[in-house]
Amino acid sequence: MSMKLVILGLLMENDSHPYQMRQKMKERGMLHYIKMQEGSLYYAIDTLAKADYVKAIETIKHSAGRPDRTVYRITESGRRLFQELLDKQFAENKAVYHPMYAALAFAKHGDPKRIHDLLQGKLEEQRKLAASLRELYDSHIDQVPRAVLHMMKGRLEHAEIELRWLERLAEDALNDRLKEYGKPIEE
> Domain check: are 80 and 140 in the same one?
no
Q: In terms of DSSP bridges, do strands 69-74 and 54-60 run parallel, antiparallel, or are they unpaired?
A: antiparallel
Q: Distance between CA atoms of 69 and 59, rounded to whole angstroms?
A: 6
**Mean pLDDT over all residues of the chain?**
91
Q: Distance between CA atoms of 184 and 91, rounded to whole angstroms?
A: 34
19's CB contacts (< 8 A; 6+ apart) are 69
**Is 80 exceeded by the pLDDT of residue 32?**
no
Q: Distance between CA atoms of 58 and 68, rounded to whole angstroms?
A: 10
> Domain check: are 69 and 112 in the same one?
no
Domain assignment present for 182: no
Q: Choose among 6, 91, 83, 102: nearest CA to 45.
A: 6
pTM here is 0.77
Contact present, 115 and 178 (Cβ < 8 Å): yes
Residue 36: pLDDT band with limits 50, 70, 90 = low
Q: What is the mean pLDDT of residues 146-168?
A: 95
Structural domain tally of the chain?
A: 2
Domain containing residue 14: 2-91
Q: Give pLDDT tens digits for 127-151.
A: 999 999 999 999 999 998 899 899 9
> Domain check: are 24 and 86 in the same one?
yes
